[in-house]
């Protein structure tokens, strides 16, 4: 699977979410399935593919996540 990242939006917030998926839409769906409240931080149109990075995950899933408010 491809690997996608998304950065949180908003004023004093930082972090990153990393998701294994086949498309940006699938990445967003995997994130929502894990924790619907994450849509507050991560916009559906904010996904970027990490070129040259792949995951051997069999299903779309969140690989890593962290954010902080400043």
Question: What pLDDT digit, counting tens, does each position of 26-61 carry?
Answer: 999 999 999 999 998 899 999 999 999 999 999 999
- What's the pTM? 0.91
Q: Is the pLDDT of residue 1 over 80?
A: yes
Q: Is the pLDDT of residue 69 over 70?
A: no
Q: State both tokens at 41.
A: 């931080």
| Contact indicator for 36, 20 with CB cutoff of 8 Å | no
The helix/strand/coil state of 60 is coil
- ∠ CA 33-37-39 to the nearest 5 degrees? 80
């Amino acid at each position: 699977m491809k690997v996608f990242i998304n950065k949180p939006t908003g004023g004093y917030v930082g972090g990153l979410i990393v998701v294994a998926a086949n498309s940006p839409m699938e990445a967003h769906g995997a994130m929502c399935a894990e924790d619907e409240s994450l849509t507050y931080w991560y916009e559906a149109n904010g996904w970027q593919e990490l070129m040259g990075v792949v995951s051997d995950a069999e299903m779309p899933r969140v690989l890593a996540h962290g954010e902080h408010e400043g």
